[in-house]
Structure 1
């Protein structure tokens, strides 16, 4: 299916009881959906280089701004739990019009929510693509993880890379840090990418105090182990579970957020029909710094939308 790769995306509005979500949509309304979930610190615009290539392969790309990221709203009940992110994704799919042939693509926090959706026994998706953040289920139960000594050796360096997570748990200081944390993380995580445009897009989405607190809320809800509201509790239970859907796991070789070495533990944990691949030269935001390579790998795994079965 041919498409104008320069076409501007359309807007999709998805009201829910807790948030009002806005999503970008590329491609024809009758094509199967590739639901693309972004992470931190990023926006739905982060899919702009990959989306036209998926549309050319017969897919409709729908990319919501995650809760708290303008123009989506903040949460009325203050929930930034993984179960809430999963619920948002399902509501966006429902609003877009599920086809029974739809797939999920998740990066960073979108990968965490995507792993939960790929672990559901009744997931509405056919396949999943998980990028840059390993599924938590690959490391559970911890006592049975193969080559545990080698995994433990990764931890000191990972703790240094993850300094921001602990920083976000502090009172007061993190709330004033958006202007320097966002550009610093982009420089560290995708060192070969000129990120000025994307940093500006991110600050437009979460630079305001309420939105920045929402972005911090993802990390605070997870690290502090708070319980999600009852409406999200059942979904939330899945995000630590083994994946059930055939899954493509992608990790950039130059990712400054998390080492590509984790792929060795992810691959054996994936279900039948899955694979794990390292994108050579890719940083954390490889959908932007290696869009052609990433899009090719995704299409090779999910197939052509027009002939999906």
Structure 2
């Protein structure tokens, strides 16, 4: 098990396990993992970037070596943004950072991209398989413009409704059903049951409110969206089209791959990330 470089306290006292690789004097990139992963999903990418970047990963609250909040409110996106702010302050004081997120790590990072406190500190954001819930909600409300795509996305997201139920999702995870589902769409290893159960609160604390009453906001942060063509959870149309009205500097990259492209094809992700960073910092 990897030993954290440091533990960082968030605004509500939850301790976050943080891992740093590479020279702190080099540009910092912070990578935020999704559900039901921990920081190790980035191991391949970290190895590819560490010669040129100060790479920071952390276990989000409720996962890996980080503490879990005692209440559901502790998983709301504004609190997750506070977590990211604390990690940035601790690992890159006084220096702006590049941000990359996958799945729920990307979903919560969109909250940082439009946050007035953090937006000026973000040099770029690379979003992989994790849309802004506000942008997604607004895109789905425009169903008349893309009825087929919207209905397909709703079908692909049907598992989220199951996650809202009491007790049954936890029982399914304990029975190994989540691992079997992931195994059909990814070659990655089994996840921690406790982390998966904790992470259900991400869906319960955020989805219904954000999707039924979206509040999409614009950002000046340059954004690259990497959309795997064989992602069974997030359609390429949602990933690429939903941010368009709100992100003036948007680059959308549809790639051949599956949902866990960050673990399965880290070389591809590293190349796209390097090219994007070179472009926005030129």
Q: TM-score range by the shorter chain?
A: 0.7 to 0.9
Contact 2:173/2:197, CA 8 A, preserved across alignment:
no
Contact 1:35/1:104, CA 8 A, preserved across alignment:
yes
What's the RMSD between the two structures over aligned residues?
2.8
Q: How far has the Cα of 1:170 moved from its partner?
A: 1.4
Q: How far has the Cα of 1:263 moved from its partner?
A: 4.1
Partner Cα separation in structure 2 for residue 34 and residue 138 of structure 1: 24
Equivalent residue, structure 1, for 2:30: 35
Give the number of aligned pairs. Answer: 274
Partner Cα separation in structure 1 for residue 87 and residue 102 of structure 2: 17
Contact 1:175/1:213, CA 8 A, preserved across alignment:
yes
Partner Cα separation in structure 2 for residue 267 and residue 238 of structure 1: 13
- CA distance 1:218–1:144, shift in 2 (3 Å): closer
Question: What does the per-residue CA deviation read over 1:113-153, in whole Å, with 9 as the maximum and x for residues that have no partner?
Answer: 111111123422111111112234545655985xx435332
Partner Cα separation in structure 1 for residue 35 and residue 141 of structure 2: 30
Which one of 200, 203, 214 corresponds to residue 219 of structure 1?
203
Q: Does 1:284 align with 2:259?
A: yes
The runs of at least 4 aligned residues of structure 1 exceeding 6 Å deviation read: none
Equivalent residue, structure 1, for 2:178: 182
Contact 1:250/1:278, CA 8 A, preserved across alignment:
yes
Q: TM-score, normalised by structure 1?
A: 0.79
Q: Does 1:247 align with 2:223?
A: yes
Equivalent residue, structure 1, for 2:65: 71
Q: How far has the Cα of 1:12 moved from its partner?
A: 2.3
Q: Structure 1: where are the runs of 5+ without partners?
A: 1-7, 227-236
Question: What does the per-residue CA deviation read over 1:142-181, in whole Å, with 9 as the maximum and x for residues that have no partner?
Answer: 5985xx4353322333333223211111122122222424
Contact 1:100/1:125, CA 8 A, preserved across alignment:
no
Q: Does 1:23 align with 2:18?
A: yes
Equivalent residue, structure 2, for 1:233: none
Q: Which moved more, 1:65-74 or 1:158-167?
A: 158-167
Contact 2:4/2:17, CA 8 A, preserved across alignment:
no
Partner Cα separation in structure 2 for residue 110 and residue 142 of structure 1: 20
Which one of 247, 252, 260 corresponds to residue 271 of structure 1?
247
Which one of 133, 139, 156 corresponds to residue 130 of structure 2?
133
Partner Cα separation in structure 2 for residue 194 and residue 144 of structure 1: 34
Contact 2:114/2:217, CA 8 A, preserved across alignment:
yes
- Secondary structure of the equivalent of 2:8? strand
Contact 1:254/1:283, CA 8 A, preserved across alignment:
yes
Structure with more contact order per residue of length (Cα contacts < 8 Å, sep ≥ 6): 1
- CA distance 1:160–1:139, shift in 2 (3 Å): closer
Q: Does 1:194 align with 2:194?
A: no
Q: Does 1:168 align with 2:163?
A: yes
Partner Cα separation in structure 2 for residue 97 and residue 255 of structure 1: 33
Q: Structure 2: where are the runs of 5+ without partners?
A: none
Contact 2:135/2:214, CA 8 A, preserved across alignment:
no
Question: What does the per-residue CA deviation read over 1:206-258, in whole Å, with 9 as the maximum and x for residues that have no partner?
Answer: x13xx4442111111113439xxxxxxxxxx9984233301111110111111
Partner Cα separation in structure 2 for residue 115 and residue 30 of structure 1: 26
- CA distance 1:212–1:267, shift in 2 (3 Å): closer
- Secondary structure of the equivalent of 1:177? helix
- CA distance 1:47–1:11, shift in 2 (3 Å): same
